[in-house]
Structure 1
C-alpha cells in the first residue's frame, strides 16, 4: 500500500489550461474516484500520474518518491485501460504472464502467480483461451489480472467499465472494489458515472473545468453537495433559482419561479449571503393526488407544491414521476419506491408534493 501526493499540478496546451493547480492526497489503501463530465481534466490527470503526459508544473509523489519526471515503465504503477489492450495472439495465461516475464520474474514463480491472479478474477478455467473467444467482461477481468499479478502499490483505472452493459458494469465494479480491498493497493478510478464512483470509492473528487470542486465520501458528496454543479451532476435533483430570500430564526424563506414560497434550514453552516439556488432530491419527496380541500396549506415542517402529473415512468424498483408546476421551466421530479401497493396517480391529474424542510438544500 502506498500514499500518493499531488501538489499544484498544472497541465497546459498552449493557452488552454486543462488541469489547474490540482492538490490531492490519496491515503495508503484508499480508492479515490475522479468524477466529472467529458473535458473536465480527469483523464489528463490520470495520464500525468501514469507518466503518459508531462505536467506543465507541479509535483507527483508516491511514498515520498518524486515521480514527476520518471518514465512510465519505472514508476511501478499499474494501469487498467478502457479498451482492455490485450495481445490477441496470446492466450489468457500468456497475456497475464507477459509483464512478469518483462520484469525478470523466475520461470518457476510465474505459473503460480498467474494462476493466482486468474483465480482472483474467476478465470482460472479459461487460461488457455484467446481474447477473441471471450466476452467483454471476461476480457476486462483478464486486463485486471494482468495488472494485479505485478502487485503494484498504485493502480490507475481509466474508465475500465465504460464499454460494458449496465448490469455487467455494476457487477464488475463491485468485484474491483472487493479485489482492491483484498490486494490492499491504492487506487485512482476515473469515471463520468456517479453511481459507479459511489460503488467503488472511499472518496470522490468531483472535477469541473480542470479543478476539484468538491472532495469527500460518497455520502458527503451526495447529501451535502458544495454547489449547484455538484448537486446537478451527482444524482437526480430538482434544482431551481430562488428569489425574495429572507432569514427567519434559523431558516431561509424564499420564492421559486412562479411565486411558490418555500423554506430551508440555515443552521449557521450554510452560506453567509442569501442563497441563489435551492435543491431537493427526488427520493425525499412524497406525492399524492390533490385532495379537494388541499389548497396551499402547508403541513408544519414540510414544503409543498401543487402541479399536474406530466409523466410516470416505471423502472421496476421505483416510479419516476414528473410534474408540471406553474412557473418552473423544468419538471419537478419525484422518485417513489415501488411498494407493490396500488398506484393511483394518473397522467394529467393534479397532485401534491411534500418534503421535509430540512431536505431542502441551498447554495
Structure 2
C-alpha cells in the first residue's frame, strides 16, 4: 500500500460538493489521509454552499475559485494569490470543466513549482462525448450510436437512425432518458441552456453497467485499475452503490481504450455489457469519480499514486485489487456555524486553526 507519511507538502483538491450528485474531492482527500498524508490539504471551491467546506476534518484551508468560464487569466491570478499565501505543491483537479484550464496553464504552474498529473489536450479532446463515437468505432471499440444535435429540429432526423428510448446528454455533464420526442425536445432545451451546443443524443443500450477507475502512465499502460459493477443507480444514472468485480474481458476492454489514447493521469470509463456479452464504451471522464474510495478500499490508493506521479516519482503498477469489496453511499447532515458561511462568502477563503 502506498504511503505518503513522509511528504511535507501542500495538496490542493477541488470539488467538495456532496449530495445527490457528489463531486470527487471529498473521497480523494480521504484517500490521501488514508495513505498517511499529514501535510496541508487546501480545498478549492466554486460555491459557498459546497458542503465539504463545513467538514472540520477535510481541508485545512478553503479558497473560492473563479468559475472556469471566466478564462485562464483570472484563474491563474487567483492561483498566484493562493500560492503566495500558502505554497501549493500539487493540485488534483476533480471537475471536467477545470481540466482544460489546468492543461493550458501547465507551463505557468510548473514555473511556480505547482505540479499536476493529468491528461494532455489531445487526450482530453478525443474523449469528448461529441467525438467518442466517430473516433473509437474507427479503432474497433464499440460505442452506442451517437448523434450530435445543433438544433432541436435535428431530433426528427436523428430518430430515423436511433429509436426511442434514448439518452440526451450535455456536452460536459448530465444525461436524461427520453422515451419520446416531447421528452427529447424538453431535455435538449435544458441541456443547451446549461452546457451549450452540441447536445448529444445516444442510443440507449440495455445490459449490465460497469465503471472502471484508472490511472494511466501516459505511455499506454494502466498503473492502477479497479472495475466495479453498479448495484444502486439513482434516477440521474449515478451509481450510489457498487461492488468490485473480477472480469478479465472487461479489464482487457478497458486497457485497450487506455492504450489507444496513451492516457495520462486519472480517468473513469463508463461501460455497458449488452445481452450478447459485448462491451460498449459509454463515456470517458477525465478525472477521478466520486466513488474513488472503492479503489482505496480494494487495495489501490490511486489518489496517493497520482500525488507521487505529479512529483515526478516513478511508481510500479499498483497491487491487484480485491474483488467483492462493496460501497454504499451514505448521506448525513453537517452541522456548522453561519459565521463560516459568511467568511467564505465575503472573504473567499477560510483558514482553519487546528490545535
After TM superposition, the score normalised by the length of structure 2 is 0.26
Structure (1 or 2) with the larger CA radius of gyration = 1
Higher relative contact order (CA 8 A, sep 6+): 2
After TM superposition, the score normalised by the length of structure 1 is 0.26
